């Protein structure tokens, strides 16, 4: 299973997983396989919704797609590069240049104001301060937050913080945005707004978005839905297709 032996995915595919396995050994417990051979292709400028019950492995898959974690076996291709061929520093650089993360619990740095939080990833890779600030401000504007740029995260509501972390992911100008339940902690109005931003990023700006969500309404409105169950791909659906009822039908109500 050496990376050299496998062929890179075709250019229109931005991300691809091949036979992806991930086992985790919790404290004291025997290793437990979380992902069982995930094969997934994500096209450029695609807006993909990742659904599944709690514990089905969505976050685990997202971390692998984001080069934050390493698979037990299998391959992750991002933008023509197989991730296991990169060392820790290169993967950090890759995240910095190509990826944007939005975590479920709005992760912002409390010591830095909103603008600084958003521009920090750009500063790390050498974008001049003024340019980074301009882009950060622009990106805050996209989320309706430009008036709050001076505030510290502690002075923002949860929904505002979540939007700031989206602005951070976007400002970095990533090829791939990975969002883990970005609407999970928001009220319906804010959730709607955040969803619209992702849709806009994918459809109007040509970015690729993978969004984990529990919200069926949102999942249906994505370009494509992928449902996981117990670490396996349970089924896929197109936009507008409601795959959750059918997948429920496919499965016995009690786990085997």
Partner 1 sequence: MALPAAAPSARDRVSARSSGVGERRVPFADLRTIVFIAVRQLWERKLLNGIAVGGVVLGVLVLIAMNGIMQGFSMKFTQAILKISPHVIILDTELRPQPSILARYEQGLVATQVAHEVPSDRQARIKRPYEIVHALHELPDVKAAAPSLSGMALIEFAGKTKSIDLRGIDVDKQEKVTPLSQFVTAGSIATLGVANDGIMVGSGVAADLGLHVGDVVHAAAPGGRPLDLKVVAIFEAEIPPVDKVRAYALLRNAQTLLGRPDIISRIEVLLWDQDRGVPASDRIERAFGYDAEPWQETNANFLAIFAMQGMIANFVVAAILLVGGFGILSIQIMIVLQKQRDIAILRSVGLRRSDILRIFLLQGVVIALVGGVLGDLLGKLALGQLAKIRVHMEGLVKSDTFLIHEDPRFYLYGLAFALVVGVFASLLPAIRGSRVEPVDVLRGQIG
Ligand X SMILES: Nc1ncnc2c1ncn2[C@@H]1O[C@H](COP(=O)(O)OP(=O)(O)OP(=O)(O)O)[C@@H](O)[C@H]1O
Contact set with partner 1 (CB under 8 A): 44-45, 59, 63, 66, 68-69, 88-89, 92-99, 101, 103, 107-112, 120-121, 123-128, 131, 142, 144, 168, 172-175, 193, 196, 200, 203-207
**Residue 76 pairs with which residues in a beta bridge?**
17
Binds 182, which of Mg ion, ligand X, partner 1, none (CB < 5 to 8 A, cut-off by type)? none
Per-position x/- string for 59-78, each x denoting binding to Mg ion as judged by CB under 5 A, each - no binding: x-------------------
> Residue 154 has what DSSP assignment?
G
Q: Which of residues 158-177 bind Mg ion (CB under 5 A)?
A: none
How many angstroms separate the CA atoms of 140 and 117, rounded?
11
Angle between helices 158-171 and 188-203 in degrees, nearest 10: 10
Alpha helices, H only, the chain? 58-65, 88-98, 114-124, 129-142, 158-171, 188-203, 216-221, 243-250
Residue with nearest beta carbon to Mg ion: 59
Number of residues in contact with Mg ion, rule: CB under 5 A? 1
Separation CA 151–CA 204 (nearest Å): 29
Residue the block writes with tokens 């969500």: 213
- From residue 16 to residue 55, the character string flagging contacts with Mg ion as x (rule: CB under 5 A) and all else as - is ----------------------------------------
**Least distance from C-beta 210 to ligand X, angstroms?**
13
Q: What residues line the site for Mg ion (CB under 5 A)? A: 59
């Amino acid at each position: 299973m050496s990376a050299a032996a496998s062929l890179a995915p075709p250019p229109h595919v931005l991300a691809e997983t091949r036979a992806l396995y991930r086992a985790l050994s919790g404290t004291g417990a025997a290793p437990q396989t979380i992902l069982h051979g995930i094969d997934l292709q994500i096209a450029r400028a695609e807006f993909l919704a990742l659904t599944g019950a709690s514990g089905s492995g969505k976050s685990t898959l997202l971390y692998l797609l984001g080069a934050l974690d390493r698979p037990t076996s299998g391959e992750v291709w991002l933008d023509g590069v197989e991730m296991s061929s990169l060392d820790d520093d290169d993967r950090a650089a890759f995240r910095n240049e190509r990826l944007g993360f939005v975590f479920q619990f709005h992760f912002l740095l409390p010591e830095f104001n909103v603008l600084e939080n958003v521009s920090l990833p750009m500063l790390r890779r050498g974008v001049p301060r003024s340019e980074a600030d301009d882009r950060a401000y622009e990106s805050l504007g996209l989320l309706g937050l430009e008036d709050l740029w001076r505030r510290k995260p502690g002075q923002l509501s949860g929904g505002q913080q979540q939007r700031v972390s989206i602005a951070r992911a976007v400002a970095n100008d990533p090829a791939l945005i990975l969002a883990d339940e970005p609407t999970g902690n928001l009220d319906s109005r804010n959730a709607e707004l955040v969803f619209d931003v992702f849709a806009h990023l994918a459809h109007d700006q040509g970015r690729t978005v993978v969004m984990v969500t529990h919200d069926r309404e949102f999942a249906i409105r994505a370009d494509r839905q992928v449902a996981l169950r117990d670490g396996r791909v349970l089924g896929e659906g197109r936009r507008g297709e409601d795959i959750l009822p059918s997948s429920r039908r496919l499965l016995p109500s009690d786990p085997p």
